[in-house]
Chains A and B, each alone.
Chain A
């Protein structure tokens, strides 16, 4: 079943109805909402944390929080619900990091540059660990945009709704994030 309204109006309407039932704490509906959204939330969390076990736990927490808050959620549209649940996910990740003080200090050898020379050697990201290493150099919002864009394929409009920003702001965040990453991954040619 599509959740972004791409796969037909009737399916989207079905999901609307399911979400409405879930807001009334209907068991089956809540289960269906979980099946629809948990994989996306899990992938987003895993992308941000690079820790699958932690992602399992946080995804669980996120839906527990959603369960407690859903009575106050007034459903209007699927994209709005998507934004709502992703906001819970963002908060859960931020809370986790606050609690665990997982601040990774920037590598002192990494010097960000405004401009990358044409002759510089551009390294590719080889695996998830390397991806996680470079992502910690982004601001939380930049990292969130990257995670939503590249792990979920979300549009700027969808990301803007979740971050409560305008689309141009999201584009700017994405550009700055990519520029930072490109700079990080560029080595000066050997003298």
Chain B
């Protein structure tokens, strides 16, 4: 068969998927793509991430080059304006004509703007394309208030975007509730409460009648049918979508009463040479406004071109969704409104935690028909599998959504799922597909992702995918190599045990007994760290010194030019004026660049290796000690002034911070540890972003754990409330020692806890209920560390042998000529390469 001429109109997510599938098939086709947007297809689903900092180019799903390489003729920025069905030609705005054997309409949809007078003003926008994003951003620049019209899924996403842009944000909805399509009444109310708590103002049952420029201090005023009004600077309409079906109408194809190009189960329109797929298509009187169903249509439509006898058909698609809207988890499955006849519901609501869950089952409680989850979507994956695979519910279906019931909710193990179960609906990957991948040699989640694309769409299936892959790998007895490096066939945790149980005190002993070779820059620092958190010997002891990571070797942080920074400990951020003066004098004497750090202390930069001991001698004489800024160890305990000074403080947060910093200083751990203590719920010390966070209450201290800032910020979890001083310290001892014992190298507490099987609840059991019977041991181990603390710099400056190490050259007093400083804002800084060349040329 000679190649068929295929013309695809529209290069959105679905249009591109069609082309991609066609290229990968063995069907011979000359493909032409005609898109009205100026750029090739991009990921619309993740559009909002641009507001959170993503570059629009990262959303690209394909490129012009990819099309070229695959002989696809592609034209962008030129919409198709007519179809000449008699002569089988598509005609574009610029007058170009493309003849086809088969035409595919993938024109998607556009945001509906209600016909309100004034809605054509330049401050009235929509939200669907990358270009729209640009306009919203531009408009937001001189706006204070923004309104989103429409309280559906997209409207709320848009509200989040406006909030991210720093606007006072309002949502105006015509219906009585938010997300009426996906949520029942109570779910919708709970969502509203949560969203209002985030400072987004919600106005329901408001019909906008007019938009004019009569706002008091704003650019616009919206007038509502009930004679109220709302002042705003900009409006984004997100009041539903309408299929782009004008082209189809014009050329006489059948369209639905309320729009949409009518298709049959082979995705054919009323002209059998024309297909329609994605959001422009109407199947069974329904528009599928999600990408997964669109992808299925694209796949079905491609298959119609092939030679197989049996042509697959589109059978409708599941519209369940799980989303995080404005940080609120929302899930909706199947018949969320319980409209099926005879259906019964089980409902759980917790107004304190603002969680609402409802499941809808068949009359005999055997099958799940639908579900609504607001505030907590933990059960979504499991429920969706029950729903999609019609798995029999347990005898007490309410256990599916009740927290901590006796016996626990029956989490659906991956093994309980049938082979046909869809794991990733975006890319239509079933459990069976994953198994055949593993048969074919894939042996990690990453391999399976590469091979099947699973979890690379909306990402909602990632946890389930991991679960399926891991449990199958385990079932097949395939162990994944978790060795720390080529020198030790053990994980960090196993090495920790070998050290403790075998009472091993040095690296040489360990590698002789349990490893081979000389070690490397992975295992040596990890072992040095384990030895330190177990025995707490001086880190520069002869048999340890060669193991230490760069910074620990010289007890300072190396900078880009080979000089070092010096950070004295300033426990809790409290410092005496005399000490401040001493720091200032040292900085001045050694000409060090001085800066207040992000951790409430002072960093002195630009010290040469040979200057470190002298600098430290002077600092120690002034009563200061090392701040361990160089170690994988406790950094700072951030504080606020608390009840001593602050009119809101309810406890002495300052004293607590200082005590804690002094208790745990010097503690080596798998990664650095940061603490904070706030004096009241205003949380000025930002304790909820720390590994260990403490917030004072009337009754004592609330303890938060496993938060961090940095690359991937994570809010800490509330661990225990209203603790007295003694219990607080006891819990922290246990948590930290358990972390040191079980975490991977360079794993911060957040990632550690997320990887602990059982997570926060498990950690509570171990620490609070002592479920492993190790609490005492953990406390004793911490007591040993606390009692053997030493200021490493003090030990070092008193040891002449050790000081020899701090010479730039063993055979000369010369200084490193490559260290060159220039002055900026009254202080010195390292010269740039260019500056160095010039300075060196001058002096030569």
Partners in one complex: no
Chain B contacts to A: CB under 8 angstroms: none
Residues of A within 8 A of B (CB): none
